[in-house]
Structure 1
């Protein structure tokens, strides 16, 4: 399920596009050390839109060092119909406003480049159709570079959709994804754009002539039908998606659909074009009665209700058998030993990324985890285990919950721990286990971590424990074998893929 933070990020998709597209343009004349980029905006009365400004070096081989930098934003060009909200907070700038100019100053470290996010709010009684410019002037190293961006006052359109939907299918089958939209505003929406995407195990398989499949963004469909205020619409046919034949029975894959006004989409696509090849089949339609009320541009200020999170439940009979391997080690009091328990997918299905604490590790008695795997965090209960903000790799816990990366048949996921022996006792045991709904073999779902003392003559003072993976003792202080990675990073591509940092799979934006 998309977190609200991810939704906010996706709502600013055009901003990210502007950054990428502008940074990819050819460098201008060599005598100009840097360029300034501002993003165009659509804003509605009584609503705010968010955008970025940034400056970047024209020569990547010898980047301009900004150092002490000033920024001036002249917003007099929009003052008749919009207000520039005070920028600078949280961006490392010190800003002051005098009349209709914001003056900001900052000191940038080596290779850092200036950027600034801000919002513009349309005035209450302003008439849609008005346009004006924001003017930027950046001074660094004795050089001043200028740029502009255009702010357009647009009609307020509120596209809404169901927050959740669910579909199902067996591995290798085609699944139809529904999509609905409602115009919750007071103005007719002249068309709309639907963007739908999902896991690479769940790929678009349609041929509609008004839909294009993008390598990085899933599929987007453009509709010319008008959406009347207060009326709901459904696409004329479900969008077909193909489930990969290796998907695991019982898995739930996540997909997202989002609706845009055509003008919002055009502005975003101008910054980062998503070409894609259109289909050659029939046209996908929205069933609606056309009704034209205005020719002003249109924007949807509240994009938080434009999303549907689609759960794709995999049926059939294609399980994944997970097998646990324990570990053994030996040493004397004060030694730090390394253990490497693991879980292997015996197939036949591919195991999709598991964000929850699927793999559990209990530290043996008489030992302390001085280093923990970066895929693990201290565990007390499932409710308290947080894949987004957990204390990844935190030492000192007695029990750990670990996530499992996307794992094809035959792949092993190891988890390395460095344990300090505080009190050497024979057969000091800890536990490892895995739990996965639909796992066909529970007999290989658990194992042990066994730590034994080393006698004065060099022999072990007990049995060798259960499981493989024994290691040599590491005497003295910790040698920093595996540093905790910590946290999870959201990676989203155009239109809505949310992939965690820990997932080792193909990137689908």
Structure 2
């Protein structure tokens, strides 16, 4: 069985944001004006159900280590109708009064702008007095030593329980550029009619939509979600067929993965509120006809009503075996620079994907390749990207640490044909040396996940970094002119641009629903 993906659109924060967070050393609260933020999903509970559990999102405007972190929940707005409890950390959480849970973290805790989760899971359960249509506010407060507390109000609704069950898994085989058709099915295994449904797509970049339906949203040719207004009767299975095209730039041979996640209309409304709060857009609706669900079968009886408390049955997956041979050429990008003694000069170095294949390691959660950078003679790296670390034999220094002679850099997990990823190093010229040479190497071996070792043109895997060249040395590397601007519709300027990396991790299809869970007991 295919494993539940750990990153995806509407599924958690992407690796790009996580890499930036990991790269930056936590700051002291006294170093800058840092603010905190907290978020908790709106939540819909089924009357008569066991309830649901969720976790808060904890943010800070800059990476910081927090002391005496406090999270408090207050559901007094629905007193007598909703009960709350947190059993995950019984030694850290108390109930000072009914309808309030107060938790204090005694250990130092790191957080950052990308958001953290993993602490103080809250269970909300409707009481016998709760009825469909009840609605109130859950107040979630977040504070820490030296910081002003912040509060978020989440909406809690009482509704009718239904159990949407996704269809079976499927396997396909296709070559880059070919189409294939996959079924989209859902069964209402509850006793109440489901008033519409939403399916969220979790497809690899290579899986492109063949049509753009008016009730579905897209990011380019990537399907994001579809809304259905059909009434789904108890015990009935509904479905449709979707035709996809495997991108001509799909790496082959490989295995590509797609998935769909069914939600009730109310559950998706709750999640839309989260996306809006974080400034994440939902793509654009299609301009074609409407995608509809038609009844395919019906059983004589159904299970007792539930409220999708086991989300595993809301997912279904497909696996595509990509046939043929389709690799790519990653070309190192060097630089040719000049300056006087003590001058500080900028070297933008990295690699370009010359195609024909796009590399997508997002599910693996690792860099598409690894780079080594040799600092030119007579210069000192005084400004180092956060995604680069000193390479000290078999050991590594801290990310962004200046002054080393050699560095290892970690690109993003996605490299599109025709685009570049560059790392900005600031070099100080300590001694003017004619033709001072360094180098950037792509596809270097790494005893870690990811990396690319099937380059179709390894001869351009290394490019020179030249300072004060005296002749036509071709220091740009691979035919590149280092004076030309970087282009491409989603080019990554990796160095120091955590916000851009987060945007690529949180929008442009690699949006993520579940955040990094880095808290430990």
TM value normalised by structure 1? 0.54
Runs of at least 5 residues in structure 2 that lack an aligned partner in the other structure: 14-39, 57-71, 103-119, 140-152, 277-281, 444-450, 484-492, 513-521
Aligned residues: 394
SS of structure 2 residue aligned to 1:484: coil
**CA deviation vs aligned residue, 1:414-454 (integer Å, no higher than 9, x gap):** 433223466888855444224745532222222333567xx
Alpha-carbon distance in 2 for matches of 1:467, 1:72: 57
SS of structure 1 residue aligned to 2:329: strand
Q: Is the 8 A contact 1:371 1:483 kept in 2?
A: no
The structure-2 alpha-carbon separation of the partners of 1:332 and 1:313, relative to structure 1 and needing over 3 Å to count, comes to farther
Q: What's the counterpart of residue 18 of structure 1?
A: none
2:76 is the alignment partner of 1:75: yes
Runs of at least 5 residues in structure 1 that lack an aligned partner in the other structure: 11-36, 53-70, 90-94, 104-116, 138-146, 453-458, 473-480, 501-509
The structure-2 alpha-carbon separation of the partners of 1:327 and 1:264, relative to structure 1 and needing over 3 Å to count, comes to closer
After TM superposition, give the deviation of residue 256 of structure 1 in Å: 3.5
The structure-2 alpha-carbon separation of the partners of 1:6 and 1:320, relative to structure 1 and needing over 3 Å to count, comes to closer
Q: What's the counterpart of residue 502 of structure 2?
A: 489
After TM superposition, give the deviation of residue 360 of structure 1 in Å: 0.9
**Which structure carries more relative contact order (alpha carbon 8 Å, separation 6+)?**
2
SS of structure 2 residue aligned to 1:356: coil
Alignment match of 1:260 (pick from 263, 285, 297): 263
Alignment match of 1:447 (pick from 451, 463, 468): 463
Q: Is the 8 A contact 2:328 2:456 kept in 1?
A: yes
**CA deviation vs aligned residue, 1:177-196 (integer Å, no higher than 9, x gap):** 4567789x9x5575665332
2:224 is the alignment partner of 1:218: yes
SS of structure 2 residue aligned to 1:443: helix
Alpha-carbon distance in 2 for matches of 1:134, 1:200: 39
Q: Is the 8 A contact 2:331 2:351 kept in 1?
A: yes
Q: What's the counterpart of residue 289 of structure 1?
A: 299
**CA deviation vs aligned residue, 1:249-308 (integer Å, no higher than 9, x gap):** 4576664311224664576689999986785688555544153567x7x52234366345
2:199 is the alignment partner of 1:198: no
Q: Is the 8 A contact 2:328 2:358 kept in 1?
A: yes
Q: Is the 8 A contact 2:165 2:187 kept in 1?
A: yes
2:49 is the alignment partner of 1:45: yes
Alpha-carbon distance in 2 for matches of 1:135, 1:429: 60
SS of structure 1 residue aligned to 2:369: strand
After TM superposition, give the deviation of residue 345 of structure 1 in Å: 3.5
Q: What's the counterpart of residue 456 of structure 1?
A: none
The structure-2 alpha-carbon separation of the partners of 1:391 and 1:128, relative to structure 1 and needing over 3 Å to count, comes to farther
SS of structure 2 residue aligned to 1:489: helix
Q: What's the counterpart of residue 125 of structure 2?
A: 122
Alignment match of 2:410 (pick from 398, 402, 418): 402
Alignment match of 1:369 (pick from 361, 373, 381): 381
Alignment match of 1:306 (pick from 310, 314, 319): 314
The structure-2 alpha-carbon separation of the partners of 1:219 and 1:278, relative to structure 1 and needing over 3 Å to count, comes to farther
Q: Is the 8 A contact 2:215 2:226 kept in 1?
A: yes
**Higher mean displacement: 397-406 or 173-182:** 173-182
After TM superposition, give the deviation of residue 356 of structure 1 in Å: 1.0
The structure-2 alpha-carbon separation of the partners of 1:47 and 1:156, relative to structure 1 and needing over 3 Å to count, comes to farther
2:351 is the alignment partner of 1:343: yes
2:142 is the alignment partner of 1:134: no
Alpha-carbon distance in 2 for matches of 1:380, 1:313: 40
CA RMSD, aligned part only? 5.9
Q: Is the 8 A contact 2:380 2:403 kept in 1?
A: yes
SS of structure 1 residue aligned to 2:459: helix
Q: Is the 8 A contact 1:171 1:314 kept in 2?
A: yes
Alpha-carbon distance in 1 for matches of 2:217, 2:356: 30
Q: Is the 8 A contact 1:321 1:347 kept in 2?
A: yes
TM value normalised by structure 2? 0.53
Q: What's the counterpart of residue 179 of structure 2?
A: 174
Decide which structure has the larger Cα Rg and report it.
Answer: 1
**CA deviation vs aligned residue, 1:219-258 (integer Å, no higher than 9, x gap):** 4375766676xx9x8x766532123444454576664311
